[in-house]
Amino acid sequence: MNDIPKAYDPGAVEEKWYKTWEERGYFVADPSSPKPAYSIVIPPPNVTGVLHMGHVLNNTIQDILARKARMQGYEVLWLPGTDHAGIATQAVVEKNLRKQGLMKHREDLGRDKFLEHVWAWKEKHGHIIVQQLKRLGCSCDWSRLRFTMDSDYSRCVQKVFVALFRDGLIYRGLRMVHWDPAAQTALSDEEVEWIEEKGHLWYIRYPLLDPEGRTLPDQCIIVATTRPETMLGDEAVAVHPQDHRYRHLLGRRVLLPLRNKPIPIVGDAAVEPEFGTGCVKVTPAHDPADYEIALRHQLPFTVVIGPDGRMTPEAGHGFAGLDRMEARKAVVAHLEKLGLLEKTEDYIHRVGYSQRSHVPIEPRLSEQWFLRYPEVERAQRVVENGQIRFHPEKWVKTYTHWLSNLKDWCISRQLWWGHRIPVWTRTFEDLAELEAARATFPLSDLDTAIRCQDRTMVVATANPVLQQQLTRDGWHQDPDVLDTWFSSWLWPFATMGWTGQAERDHQNPTLRRFYPTTDLVTGPDIIFFWVARMIMAGLRFMDEVPFRNVYFTGIIRDKHGRKMSKSLGNSPDPLDLIRRYGADALRFGTMRSAPLGQDVLFDEKDVELGRNFCNKLWNACRFRQLQQGQAAIALDPDRLTVDDRWILLKLNTAIQEIHAAFTEYRFNEVTQTLYRFFWTEYCDWYLEAAKAVLQARDVYQKASTLGVIDFVLDHTLRLFHPFLPHITEELWHGMGFTKRYPEDRGGCSLMFAPWPEPFAADFLQRYQLHEGVLRFAEARYALATEGRNLRRLANLPANRKVKFILRPAQPLNDYDRQVLTLLLQAETLELDPEAAPRRGTPTCRTLLGDLYLPLEGVVDVAAETVRLSQELTKIEVEIERLQQRLSDSEFQAKAPPHVLQEHERRLHEWRQKAAHLRSALELLQT
């Protein structure tokens, strides 16, 4: 054994062992290994991001799975990487460049110069998140670190685009899309967050026109809208064709206020007669439903809100150039002035926000690239039939519902940072010139696909030589980039070197060995963005699912249930927590409060608990070292005490429970079992009982008990290692357990020690581990608990030595008496079959007999009665005050939920204290 220092220094231990693991290549996966394969790919964090509590939860779970798999004998690949995060990264760089005064808009720099700044930003900040993951203890194969904009990865993205383009699944079209006016780019449906807001419903008077186009006095149609600024682009008013209130007006016209333009009244079944007045304005260029109505009625499209969220010249004098929100106020003011605003009502409705820019999105008619999702039916089938298992299973319904209601994916973004769409176009003078040009492209080039329409040729290619040639010859490359998720959906196989060439991919040892991956750990908020799309991509391009299991984490919230955010000040810095408590403490505390698939209520006290647990583990191993005695080489069945057998049975139960919990991905149950076993069963009970042997003079019996302690600690450190990797490695070496196992990869590390398995039947039989042992040992521990309760009721401190008397219900030997004396922290324990203590002596009945705590000379009964009565009176006053507060209906209505919960918690605690005092008074007065 190596000496274990008195104090545990997590910073020094964690730095030492992570450096050792990395230097010895313990994280590196070997495709040629004869071991069975286990693989997992990291959900790539933003390349310029920093570690937050969501990362801590997600990556701790992945590390637990990877480390456990290594101990189970698997060759493990945990493949790391980062995402270029198109919108987010470009926004950060643009903000930084504006702050430096280098530009007002990226156009000031030009595309190439702007991208130089983005790459420089990536090089400066891109390593930060990787180093922070290392601080957490993540055992990724860093030699395989991937980035979604690496040249090889970019080639994969282009190859996939070309293949889908060739198959007719990618096309370009004019559609109504979600538009982010801050980032000035299109968004997919999944990138829009719908938030319920308090707004207004404005009722506007549209004057009715006669057949000659003259306004009719006091005749109008009243239209209700939540967006009066868009009325400047109205092209019709629509009513339901069966609405008897307006059926006679179909075919007539009204005058569009503020624009003085006649527009028709049309009948369309999409109108809801119950909404507002039953008349709706139709703004074809700025509303998805209106767009569809316009197509049915051949209405024109007038764009009055530009890509930057400002009103266009088509909005008219007095409005052009205004921000859309400013225009809303101006339109309402003009309508009021003209007497055309009938009324305004408060109205709650859902408003779409860009998840990245956090601004309201605009429906916008725009030419974009779209993808018809491939392999939809197969993607649904592999989850429903269990080829891919979701944990928890409730997410299957959400997943299949989304797949059943798919819209084509808008994959183009009006950004500069990202994978530029690999499409070049050229319009020729005539068809003969086009055909001549087409003949120059080799038909055998699988990296190229061509489409022709009229005199325009469209070439999609992933061939770098051809790309350079097209650019050099003056072909026009599409300026847009691909949605970030278009690269992320290829992550499981593109990170392993996929090329799209079957023979070459078959010879790729990493791809052949580790695809499909075993597990995926992610959040349910990206089940559509990422999980579903990866399944489709895997089936399409690998003809195989990308993973076997998906574990959906919950969302990390503060202890009051609020989502963490900088504005609320409730989002702790994980690195600060690591500095103060250690990475292992942060990991253990987080996992202990993370139930399967439910949100995690984070409380720093859980991290404190993790630190205390690490200290307990450290001190327990150090206690073993201080015994100095030589342990038995193997367990000696003839010298095992009842307590030895009890802790071995408890260890076996813990291993069984841990196996069952891991099978169902219930990580918090694993930590709870580990905590219960080590802190309560091993430290609180077994070690205290074992002192009866350790403090005695029988060296052989002591050696046997030390052997049991070593056996239990060896198993315990292995069980804890996936959760507490650094401290367990340090203690495992300090305890000398390395000698028990063969070397792996040129060294001996707990990382490769065998994962504990439940004990075999012959082991249980050989060491007489049966229910009878459990019953007797637990009867003793129950007696000790009752004795401690008697002490507490009598207000006697735990460290005060007092006398107990036991009238035994069955014979007890000297060892049993010694153990009970230790557990009761008694000065003496008298075994008296005839014991009959005086009236008023605290007593309890147990399976092993009646236990008495004589108070003569120990407690002044009269004085203690007065003290307890006074304390009870104070507590009852506090209970009354809290009850009155909680029964106040005004307080109940106004107080935040966490304040109510805190009051209810305090009331519960005061009631418990009052009950304890009443029991103590009753005991003294018996």
Give tens-digit pLDDT for 675-707. Answer: 999 999 999 999 999 999 999 889 999 999 999
pLDDT band, very low/low/confident/very high, at 595 (cuts 50, 70, 90): confident
CA distances from 812 to 177, 580, 773, 803, 804 (A): 82, 49, 14, 18, 15
Say how many Å lie between the first and final Cα of the chain, rounded: 55
Model pLDDT, residue 484: 94
CA distances from 88 to 61, 83, 93, 519, 529 (A): 26, 11, 9, 27, 16
**Helix (H) or strand (E) segment spanning residue 583:** helix 583-592
Average pLDDT, the chain: 92
- Is the backbone peptide bond immediately before 754 cis, with ω within 30 degrees of 0? no
Model pLDDT, residue 859: 67
* DSSP assigned state of 682: I
pLDDT band, very low/low/confident/very high, at 921 (cuts 50, 70, 90): confident
Model pLDDT, residue 68: 98
Model pLDDT, residue 748: 87
**How far is residue 410's CA from residue 362's CA, in Å, rounded to a whole number?**
15
Determine how many CB atoms are found less than 10 A away from the CB of residue 680: 12
pTM for this structure? 0.86
Phi, psi angle pair for 651, to nearest 5°: -60, -45
Cα atoms in the Cβ-side hemisphere of radius 13 Å centred on 186:
23
Q: Please answer whether residues 417 and 84 qualify as being in contact, where contact means their C-beta atoms are separated by less than 8 angstroms.
A: yes
**Quick check: helix, strand or coil at residue 239?**
strand
**884 CB-contact burial (10 Å; exposed 0-12 / middle 13-18 / buried 19+):** exposed
Model pLDDT, residue 597: 72
Angle between helices 10-23 and 128-136 (to 10 degrees): 110
**How far is residue 247's CA from residue 243's CA, in Å, rounded to a whole number?**
6
Category of 746 on φ-ψ map: left (φ > 0), alpha (ψ -120 to 50) or beta? left
pLDDT band, very low/low/confident/very high, at 856 (cuts 50, 70, 90): confident
**How far is residue 661's CA from residue 8's CA, in Å, rounded to a whole number?**
30
Model pLDDT, residue 888: 87
pLDDT greater than 70 at residue 362: yes
Q: Please answer whether residues 588 and 610 qualify as being in contact, where contact means their C-beta atoms are separated by less than 8 angstroms.
A: yes
**175 CB-contact burial (10 Å; exposed 0-12 / middle 13-18 / buried 19+):** middle
**Alpha carbon 400 to chain centroid, angstroms:** 21
Model pLDDT, residue 96: 94
Tokens of 308: 């930057």
Helices of type H across 109-251: 111-125, 128-136, 151-166
Return the exposure string of 816-855: e unless at least 16 CB atoms fall within 10 Å of the residue's CB, then b. bbbbbbbbbbbeebebeeebebeeebbbbebebbbbbbbb
Cα atoms in the Cβ-side hemisphere of radius 13 Å centred on 350:
5
Beta strand pairing call for 37-41 and 75-79 = parallel
Question: What residue type is assigned to position 275 of the chain?
Answer: F
Residue partners of 691: CB distance under 8 A and separation at least 6: 822
Residue partners of 836: CB distance under 8 A and separation at least 6: none
pLDDT greater than 90 at residue 555: no
Model pLDDT, residue 598: 82
Tokens of 511: 């791809």
Determine how many CB atoms are found less than 10 A away from the CB of residue 192: 17
**How far is residue 689's CA from residue 315's CA, in Å, rounded to a whole number?**
86
Q: pLDDT, tens digit, for every residue of 36-71? A: 999 999 999 999 889 999 999 999 999 999 999 999
**How far is residue 145's CA from residue 141's CA, in Å, rounded to a whole number?**
7
Q: Please answer whether residues 388 and 396 qualify as being in contact, where contact means their C-beta atoms are separated by less than 8 angstroms.
A: no
Model pLDDT, residue 446: 84
Model pLDDT, residue 80: 98
255-261-264-268 Cα dihedral, nearest 10 degrees: -100
**Helix (H) or strand (E) segment spanning residue 173:** strand 170-180
pLDDT greater than 90 at residue 304: yes
**Alpha carbon 878 to chain centroid, angstroms:** 41
**How far is residue 801's CA from residue 46's CA, in Å, rounded to a whole number?**
61
Provide, rounded to the nearest whole percent, the portion of the chain with pLDDT above 70: 98
Model pLDDT, residue 919: 77
**How far is residue 183's CA from residue 165's CA, in Å, rounded to a whole number?**
27
pLDDT greater than 70 at residue 894: yes
pLDDT greater than 90 at residue 356: no
Q: Please answer whether residues 667 and 64 qualify as being in contact, where contact means their C-beta atoms are separated by less than 8 angstroms.
A: yes
Across residues 552-562, what is the average pLDDT? 87
Across residues 915-924, what is the average pLDDT? 75
Angle between helices 814-824 and 771-793 (to 10 degrees): 40
Tokens of 485: 């998720």
Residue partners of 286: CB distance under 8 A and separation at least 6: 227, 230, 233, 303, 304, 305, 362, 363, 364
Across residues 605-620, what is the average pLDDT? 96
Token look-up 């008697």 returns 790
Model pLDDT, residue 899: 85
- Is the backbone peptide bond immediately before 516 cis, with ω within 30 degrees of 0? yes
Across residues 318-330, what is the average pLDDT? 96
* DSSP assigned state of 138: -
**How far is residue 102's CA from residue 99's CA, in Å, rounded to a whole number?**
8
pLDDT greater than 70 at residue 516: yes
**How far is residue 446's CA from residue 374's CA, in Å, rounded to a whole number?**
19
Q: Please answer whether residues 301 and 294 qualify as being in contact, where contact means their C-beta atoms are separated by less than 8 angstroms.
A: yes
Cα atoms in the Cβ-side hemisphere of radius 13 Å centred on 617:
38
Residue partners of 595: CB distance under 8 A and separation at least 6: 554, 666, 668
Model pLDDT, residue 857: 67
Highest mean pLDDT among 186-195, 291-300, 897-906: 291-300
Question: What residue type is assigned to position 865 of the chain?
Answer: T
Residue partners of 684: CB distance under 8 A and separation at least 6: none
pLDDT greater than 70 at residue 567: no
pLDDT band, very low/low/confident/very high, at 594 (cuts 50, 70, 90): confident
pLDDT band, very low/low/confident/very high, at 499 (cuts 50, 70, 90): very high
Q: pLDDT, tens digit, for every residue of 722-742? A: 999 999 999 999 998 988 887
